[in-house]
Amino acid sequence: MRFAHLSDLHLGKRVCEFSMLEDQKYILEQILALLDAHPVDGVLLAGDLYDKPVPPAEAVRLLDWFLTQLAARGLPVFAISGNHDSADRVAFGSALLETSRVYVSPVFSGAPQPICLADEHGPVDVYLLPFLKPASVRHVWPDEPIESYNDALACVLRHCPVDPARRSLLVAHQFVAGAAACESEEPSVGGLDCVDAALFDAFDYVALGHLHSPQKVGRDTLRYCGTPLKYSFSEAHQHKSITFVDLGEKGCVDISTAPLTPLHDLREVRGSYLELTDRRTYEGTATDDYLHITLTDEQDVPDALAKLRLIYPNLMRLDYDNRRTRENQQITAPERVENITPLQHLAAFYELQNNQPLTVEQAAFCQQLIEDIWKEGEDA
């Protein structure tokens, strides 16, 4: 039995105030084409379907379209809510969706019950476990000693006995200890939301969501598939993909991936302003990609962001890497200020700010500007 493992769609997300909806529609269409080319028996959506608990209407329509497309292909869908989702909103209409074999995790009220599929090797039990917080689990089992996320998950799985003779698959959305996070994920203080990988040992495959980098945690069959799109520049060098999971007879699990190509890549570029505006630099490159540009000019370029966007319209972020930004000097008032000219004051301030002195041309310009200001004051 073959499944496609997806997670963290984050529909409706904005990156540096750029809407990603067009890119998300494009990548979902590409996923559908891959599912047509590589048929599966089910699709796993491991949480964070939306980017916000109250998603914009466009994001809701996009998810509705995607689920409708999957259902039209006769594919059962197994979806859970993540930490970015509202469990109530994701679960809305779940009884009606189930008639189309779109199974959505309910608002947490106890141990998940298996959804049973079958093939020539026998049954496969699919468990849907939405993102859990300790308070939600304490509400269901008030007498259990639950102090942490790990305690909460351990409690739920103790009440969810898995038949060791049957193949089982869990869809979950948690931060498993030992996994690598990146900057686009919600941070936790001191790793309080970590859970132990050993808690999942009873399952043949665990389809995880929450972390945006594709990776296994400990064993090959405990896996994050990652986001289908890059959502931060910490992911710029990642290669996004869709994960395929083949369950053979009990104990036989094969995992493969197929690459996903975005409408606009998300890249980091560095160089001087002259280099990046030279036609020979940008001709033949995807200038409409989402970019983080780092300028190496020692002097800040006036209105550089607006000027560069004439060539790179999707420039998201602009930084400098020069002496000014590499050194962190503190500005302090001089101990003695007698006999210090205005130009010397300005020159000292400029050097502290920029980690380099005024050039001769800059000093001459500033001196002339000071004299003009004084003259205007005298004439007033």
pLDDT single digits (tens) 68-115: 999 999 999 999 999 999 999 999 998 999 999 999 999 999 999 999
The residue with greater pLDDT, 107 or 358, is 107
Q: Is residue 101, in this structure, part of any structural domain at all?
A: yes
Contacts 24+ apart (CB under 8 A), 220-226: 220/253, 220/255, 221/253, 221/255, 222/176, 222/197, 223/5, 223/255, 224/7, 224/179, 225/5, 225/6, 225/7, 225/46, 226/7, 226/8
Q: Is residue 335, in this structure, part of any structural domain at all?
A: no
Q: Is residue 331, in this structure, part of any structural domain at all?
A: no
* Residue 379 reports pLDDT greater than 70: no
Same domain, 147 and 68: yes
Same domain, 209 and 129: yes
Listed residues 259, 282, 304: the one ending a domain: 259
Listed residues 259, 275, 308: the one ending a domain: 259
Listed residues 259, 287, 304: the one ending a domain: 259
Determine the pLDDT at residue 336.
Answer: 54
- When the pLDDT of each residue in the chain is averaged and rounded to a whole number, the result is 90
Same domain, 127 and 203: yes
Q: Is residue 334, in this structure, part of any structural domain at all?
A: no
Same domain, 357 and 238: no
Same domain, 189 and 136: yes
Q: Show the domain range for 138.
A: 2-259
pTM score, two decimals?
0.82
Same domain, 200 and 315: no
Same domain, 147 and 288: no
Task: Output the domain CATH number for residue 22.
Answer: 3.60.21.10
Same domain, 166 and 309: no
Same domain, 94 and 173: yes
Q: Is residue 312, in this structure, part of any structural domain at all?
A: yes
- Contact (Cβ atoms closer than 8 angstroms) between residue 289 and residue 269: no
Question: Number of structural domains, the chain?
Answer: 3
Determine the pLDDT at residue 184.
Answer: 63
Cα 131 to Cα 133: distance, rounded to the nearest angstrom: 7
Q: Is residue 332, in this structure, part of any structural domain at all?
A: no
When mean pLDDT is compared across 28-42, 268-282, 310-324, 359-373, the lowest value belongs to: 359-373
* Residue 189 reports pLDDT greater than 60: no
- pLDDT band of 346, cuts 50, 70, 90: confident
Same domain, 276 and 248: no
Average pLDDT over residues 16-36: 97
Tens digits of residue pLDDT in 210-231: 999 999 998 999 999 999 999 9
Tens digits of residue pLDDT in 309-338: 999 999 999 999 988 778 765 555 555 555
Q: Is residue 337, in this structure, part of any structural domain at all?
A: no
Q: Is residue 333, in this structure, part of any structural domain at all?
A: no
Same domain, 348 and 322: no
- pLDDT band of 161, cuts 50, 70, 90: confident
Same domain, 54 and 140: yes
